[in-house]
Amino acid sequence: MTSGEISNDRLRSQKIEATEYRTAREIVSWMGAMQAQDYSMAKWAIGSRLSDPSVHLLPAFDEFLISYKDRSNSLSLVNNKKTVSDNGIFRPFILVNGQVAGLWKRKIQKNKVIIETELFKTINKLNRNLIDKKASSFGKFLSKETEVVQKSNEARGILIRQRLNQYLRIKKL
């Protein structure tokens, strides 16, 4: 058997030569293959095969972040300052599919717990709902009603602009 015949036989047996699949994603999914040249694409390929998205509300100083000197695979440099302060204080964070997607904090009241989330960027509705479910589970663990409040990055941007304008007015005086 020649190498050409081997290649053609392989294409036929793997249903690549003549297939009902219409996209590369369908073929890769059918084969269970993962083709990636770098780590970030490998993570994406693995994540795309997970049956359910993964969402966790993790506490400050959780080993997911604290155990590593280089956190760049799960925490972008842009969001590092928001998650870890200059003096090494870690904040409770929201983990979505292995990536730090935002911060959260809780305020416990008599009959309820208020969970405030601050996402670093817009996420899809499914993951938003999963965050709400995790927050609700936390409330159930405490035997309290749960209220989830989404802190708006837009509101924070407005506040920063207002403070900057105040500062510039004072400088002009």
- The predicted-structure confidence for 21-45, as pLDDT tens digits, reads as follows 666 666 566 555 545 555 555 555 5
| 170 in a structural domain | no
Q: Are residues 59 and 143 in the same domain?
A: yes
Q: Are residues 76 and 146 in the same domain?
A: yes
Which residues have a Cβ under 8 Å from the Cβ of 68 and sit 6 or more positions away? none
Q: Are residues 22 and 89 in the same domain?
A: no
Q: Are residues 17 and 74 in the same domain?
A: no
The whole-chain average pLDDT of the chain stands at 76
| 36 in a structural domain | yes
| 98 in a structural domain | yes
Residue 3 CB coordination number (10 Å): 7
Say how many domains are in the chain. Answer: 2
Residue 46's pLDDT band (cuts 50, 70, 90):
low
Q: Are residues 61 and 144 in the same domain?
A: yes
Q: Are residues 104 and 139 in the same domain?
A: yes
| 173 in a structural domain | no
Q: Are residues 141 and 59 in the same domain?
A: yes
Q: Are residues 30 and 110 in the same domain?
A: no
Residue 103's pLDDT band (cuts 50, 70, 90):
very high
Q: Are residues 85 and 122 in the same domain?
A: yes
| 24 in a structural domain | yes
Nearest-angstrom CA–CA distance, 67 and 49? 27
Tell which wins on pLDDT, 109 or 98. 109
- The predicted-structure confidence for 114-138, as pLDDT tens digits, reads as follows 999 999 888 888 888 899 999 998 8
| 134 in a structural domain | yes
Q: Give the range of the structural domain holding residue 113, as residue numbers without chain letter.
A: 55-158
Residue 59: pLDDT over 60: yes
Residue 62: pLDDT over 60: yes
Question: Which residue in this structure is represented by tokens 């911060």?
Answer: 103
Q: Which long-range contacts does 124-130 make (Cβ < 8 Å, 24+ apart)?
A: 126/53, 127/53, 127/55, 127/96, 127/97, 127/101, 130/53, 130/55, 130/96
Q: Which two tokens stand for residue 113?
A: 């717990």
Question: Which residue in this structure is represented by tokens 């100083």?
Answer: 61
Nearest-angstrom CA–CA distance, 63 and 103? 16
Please tell me the predicted confidence (pLDDT) of residue 104. Answer: 92
Residue 132 CB coordination number (10 Å): 16
pTM for this model (two decimals) = 0.59
User: What's the DSSP call for residue 90?
Assistant: B
Nearest partner of 119 among 146, 94, 97, 155, judged by Cα = 94
Q: Are residues 83 and 30 in the same domain?
A: no
Q: Are residues 32 and 105 in the same domain?
A: no
The strand order across the sheet containing 145-150 reads: 55-58, 93-96, 99-108, 112-119, 145-150
Q: Are residues 113 and 138 in the same domain?
A: yes
